[in-house]
Amino acid sequence: MSTNTVWIIVAAVVVVLIIIAIVLAVTRGRRVADQRRAAALRERSQEQSLGVRQSDVEARVARADARKVRAEADQHAAEAEQEAADAERRAAEAERLETAAGDREADVAERRRELEETRRRADQLDPNVDTDHDGPAPADAEPVADPATRPDADNGPRHA
């Protein structure tokens, strides 16, 4: 082989070695750059994770507040229903009492009518004695003397 051929082979090997060195350097540079970008992305991910956790906590607090408000609303609704039921019960009791009072008034009116009828019959049987009326004496009734001062009364001996 000639010297020229050896120089060409040596030059080719050197060129190949230079190309391999350049490729390794570029690959290493990319790897370092990728590691830097990965570290930056991990850091950003960590920040986002904190933000997500904080948002999750805030969401849970908001949900708990919503449940609390819902529970209070349900409680107020139950109280309102209870008050409505109490009002209905009171209205029914008032209705019952009014009916009972009306029945008593009707009973009293009937008894009063019977009393007046009995007194009227007694006055018809003995017109000289006026029975005790709740109202004013009839216009045609004679005044009745006090039983202690009536002349026909047997009052017994009087001691002065």
**Residues 17-37: tens digit of each pLDDT:** 999 999 999 999 999 999 999
* pTM for this predicted structure: 0.42
| Separation of alpha carbons 131 and 153, rounded Å | 16
User: How large is the average pLDDT for residues 80-89?
Assistant: 95
Of 16-25, 43-52, 116-125, 128-137, the one with minimum mean pLDDT is 128-137
Residues 137 and 130: beta-carbon distance below 8 Å: yes
User: How large is the average pLDDT for residues 96-110?
Assistant: 94
**Residues 48-71: tens digit of each pLDDT:** 999 999 999 999 999 999 999 999
